[in-house]
Amino acid sequence: MATLRLGDIAPDFEAETTLGKIHFHEWLGDSWGVLFSHPADFTPVCTTELGTVANYYPEFEKRNTKVIALSVDSLQSHLDWIKDINETQGVTLNYPIIADEDKKVANLYDMLHPNASDKFTVRSVFVIGNDKKIKLMITYPASTGRNFDELLRVIDSLQLTANYSVATPANWKDGQDVVISPAITDADIPAKFPKGHTPIKPYLRMTPQPNK
């Protein structure tokens, strides 16, 4: 199939998970979603990642975002692995892991990269909007654990910029000033951004975060 691109509708699927069978789009409902894959069960870096996401789960919930993991191992393998994750990371895993032994979902989302491995998924992350469109894609090497603070930061930015005519600058964090869209004329700024703005260049105009 064609390579997925930002703005594409996230492929729909049915799958068995550690929390029962799901129909992906139906499971997402009106929520945002994070789908992230793992090369295999009982791998050290991924064990820490799944535990971190369990700890961060309330932060995803605040952002109306559901998280779901995937590995090409079996459902029973996942369930056995969860015991290790809970024990070693001091958590209770509270989100589903997809069992994808036939690699159906992995292929839908282009998670199998032959140069890395023809058997295991690469460590991909997809952020999916409440319109079911793909908003972010990142692929990590096996040796580098993912930064979930960064994923929360990106979701904050995506949800903000979806509703206001702004963009977020480098290293932006929730609560900091944002960039006014170039499509907004200077004349329209006072009505759209009543908190005021700081013109730095004609194309670079800053304003306090509008939803704070």
Q: How sure is the predictor about 170, in pLDDT bands with cuts at 50, 70 and 90? A: very high
Q: What is the pLDDT of residues 174-188, one digit of tens each?
A: 999 999 999 999 999
CA distance readout (Å), 146 to 83, 123, 150: 21, 9, 9
Q: Are 180 and 165 in contact (CB under 8 A)?
A: yes
Mean pLDDT of 144-150: 94
Whether the pLDDT of residue 116 is over 60: the answer is no
Amino acid 143: pLDDT: 82
Whether the pLDDT of residue 75 is over 80: the answer is yes
In this structure, which topology does domain 14-145 adopt according to CATH?
A: Glutaredoxin (3.40.30)
Whether the pLDDT of residue 113 is over 80: the answer is no
Which residues are catalytically annotated? 46
Q: What is the pLDDT of residues 19-29, one digit of tens each?
A: 999 999 999 99
DSSP notation for the chain: -PPP-TTSBPPP-EEEETTEEEEHHHHHTTSEEEEEE-S-TT-HHHHHHHHHHHHHHHHHHHTTEEEEEEESS-HHHHHHHHHHHHHHHT----S-EEE-TT-HHHHHTT---TTT-SSS--EEEEEE-TTSBEEEEEEE-TTS---HHHHHHHHHHHHHHHHSSEE--TT--TTS-EEEPTTS-GGGHHHH-TT--EEEETTEEEE--TT-
Mean pLDDT of 61-80: 96
Mean pLDDT of 122-151: 92
Q: How sure is the predictor about 39, in pLDDT bands with cuts at 50, 70 and 90? A: confident
202, two tokens: 């004609």
pTM recorded for the entire structure: 0.92
Name the residue with higher pLDDT: 83 or 39: 83
Amino acid 1: pLDDT: 47
Residues of the chain with CATH 3.40.30.10: 14-145
Q: What is the pLDDT of residues 192-204, one digit of tens each?
A: 999 999 999 999 9
CA dihedral in degrees (3, 65, 164, 205; nearest 10)? -80
Compute the distance between CA of residue 48 and CA of residue 67 in angstroms, rounded to an integer.
16
Whether the pLDDT of residue 56 is over 60: the answer is yes
